[in-house]
Amino acid sequence: MKNIREFMAESIAKRGDKWAVTNKKGDRTLGTHDSKKDALKQLAAVEISKKQRGESSIPSFNEYLAKNEECVDCGCDDCIGTLEEAEYKGKKVTLNDPFRTPNASKKFAVYTKNEAGTVVIVRFGDPNMEIKRDDPGRRKNFRARHNCDDPGPKWKARYWSCYQWRAGAEVDD
Report the distance separating Cα 16 and Cα 165, nearest Å.
21
Q: Is the dihedral of CA 131, 132, 134, 138 positive or negative?
A: negative
Q: What is the pTM of this model?
A: 0.51
Closest listed residue to residue 28, CA positions, set 7, 48, 13, 47? 13
pLDDT > 70 in the chain, percent: 71
Closest listed residue to residue 160, CA positions, set 77, 90, 93, 52? 77
- Residue 145, pLDDT > 80, answer yes
Closest listed residue to residue 106, CA positions, set 131, 121, 124, 130? 124
Instruction: Count the Cβ atoms, other than its own, within 10 Å of residue 104.
Output: 12
The pLDDT assigned to 169 comes to 65
CB–CB of 59/47 below 8 Å? no
Q: What is the mean pLDDT of residues 110-115?
A: 89
